[in-house]
Copies of this chain bind each other. A is one copy, B any other.
Amino acid sequence: MAKLPTVFSLRHLLVLSLALNLSLILKLVYEGEHRRSSSNNNHSCFEAQRGTSTNSNPDKSRMLISLPNSTCTDQTARGGTNRIINLDHGDPTVYETYWRQTGEKSTILIPGWQSMSYFSDVSNICWFLEEEFGREVLRLHRVVGNAITEGRHIVVGTGSSQLFLAALYALSPPDAPQPISVVCASPYYSSYPSMTDHLKSGLYKWAGDAESFDKDGPYIEVVTSPNNPDGHVRGSKVNRSQGYLVHDLAYYWPQYTPISSPADHDLTLFTVSKSTGHAGMRIGWALVKDHEVAKKMTKFIELNTIGVSKDSQLRAAKVLRAVSDSWELQGNSQEDESFFKFSHKLMANRWKQLRLVVEQNGLFSLPKFSTAFCTFFNQVLEPQPAFVWLKCEGNVEDCESFLRAHNILTRSGTHFGVNPKYVRISMLDNDENFSQFLDRLSAIKSQ
């Protein structure tokens, strides 16, 4: 009996030691990753400035997403008005804060022998769709209530860009004498025209603003809702019988817009880049009603890239599961916070700050949004888009140049099919850049 306490304390010590060692190991792993990431950030800090300074002719050298700035750790650069704040692109780095505190819930481990085959599930039309990813897509739509998934095929893509091209390929009549017209109401996403026309396809051709489209015959209309760049909820504009609709719903998530009802269309596109902020994964998905269209979209992806990264699909599945779990199992602690609560609060806060600055300086105006009932948060809410569609009021005709003179890089309205009094500005950059942006905007007034 004298030995009993020793056994207990030994056990306790063992348990404690085990816990300690495991946490140390995990800490080591995470810190290793962190160090690597930090060194990457520091590296790109200089490059962003180098990059933007060579971008003297933005029209010619423009990328879909232009050169980013980064969170410079160099204290001399931080906060200085000489530093260029690049809000031209929509890099969703703002969500990194959330994902940092999710730990193993969103961490994935892939052994070297896994996912070697081209194939995922040959019983599926989309034979390269990882079953686990498909399951989490269905679950997330059920949790959020933003899309009807019944009677739809899921086609996974290397981002929704690839799925946009796959949709054009699938909807174009294969033997038409002329390419089918592709239209979208302006202001439209600046990349649609170049994505459509860069290969001079004989199947489809960009035909500009949907509002002024008056050609007879079949056409493809892209409906982006909420719209990139201006954040407005949209429906089809052309409304003729021979139209095929592609609904780009990249931003139809609770942090950006009230979820009014589940989307119920023939072909809708979504992406993890904007929903969870994982742009580097390059994973998007399409919900497709028609069996033949899903098949042709799959064929396009086969001809284009022979499938979609399995690693990223598995990682996306884990991240989507974490998002659904965080809503369904949310607790009271900060660590248990739902992703959508976190991101909605963050966007609400940014928009509030921005409105205040814009109101105070009087040089700019913002789009006006109506409130709507959000079935997800179960309350009446206002849209708070991922981009600001800013208008320079008064005599300023070229808003992009005007802001560039204040070291704020934005994307001119000309790229979106409208006039240069407008610019698109990302609301998804990191805290430091967003705060710098507000400071500079405020300062413009006093000049």
Which residues of A does B touch, CB under 8 Å? 10, 13-14, 17-18, 21-22, 25, 29-30, 33, 37, 40, 43-44, 46-48, 50-51, 63-65, 67-68, 89, 91-93, 95-96, 99-100, 102-103, 105-123, 127, 131, 158-159, 161-162, 165, 169, 191, 194-195, 198-203, 273, 277-283, 299-300, 302-312, 315, 318-319, 322
Q: Are A44 and B123 in contact (CB under 8 A)?
A: yes
Q: Are A318 and B121 in contact (CB under 8 A)?
A: no
Q: Are B162 and A279 in contact (CB under 8 A)?
A: no
Q: Are A113 and B127 in contact (CB under 8 A)?
A: no
Q: In the assembled complex, how far is the CB of residue A2 from the closest CB belonging to chain B, in whole angstroms?
A: 13
The A contact surface, by secondary structure, is helix
Q: Are B18 and A127 in contact (CB under 8 A)?
A: no
- Residue of B102, B116, B158, B318 touching A279 (CB-CB under 8 A): B116
Q: In the assembled complex, how far is the CB of residue A71 from the closest CB belonging to chain B, in whole angstroms?
A: 11
CB<8 Å pairs between A and B, sample of 30: A14-B14, A17-B17, A33-B109, A37-B114, A43-B123, A44-B119, A44-B123, A47-B122, A64-B302, A68-B122, A92-B116, A95-B116, A102-B113, A107-B112, A115-B278, A115-B281, A116-B278, A117-B280, A159-B306, A161-B304, A161-B305, A200-B202, A201-B201, A201-B202, A202-B202, A280-B310, A280-B311, A281-B309, A309-B309, A311-B311
List of B residues within 8 angstroms of A46 by Cβ: 123
Q: Are A107 and B116 in contact (CB under 8 A)?
A: no
Q: In the assembled complex, how far is the CB of residue A118 from the closest CB belonging to chain B, in whole angstroms?
A: 5
List of B residues within 8 angstroms of A305 by Cβ: 158-159, 161-162, 282, 305
Q: In the assembled complex, how far is the CB of residue A255 from the closest CB belonging to chain B, in whole angstroms?
A: 15
Told that A22-B22, A22-B25, A311-B311 touch, could you supply 19 new A-B pairs with CB distance under 8 A?
Answer: A13-B14, A33-B114, A44-B123, A50-B123, A63-B299, A65-B118, A65-B306, A99-B113, A102-B113, A107-B109, A112-B322, A158-B308, A159-B305, A161-B305, A191-B303, A199-B203, A200-B203, A281-B310, A309-B309
Q: In the assembled complex, how far is the CB of residue A168 from the closest CB belonging to chain B, in whole angstroms?
A: 9
Leading 10 A-B pairs by shortest Cβ distance? A106-B112, A200-B202, A99-B113, A47-B123, A115-B280, A309-B309, A280-B310, A158-B305, A99-B112, A309-B312
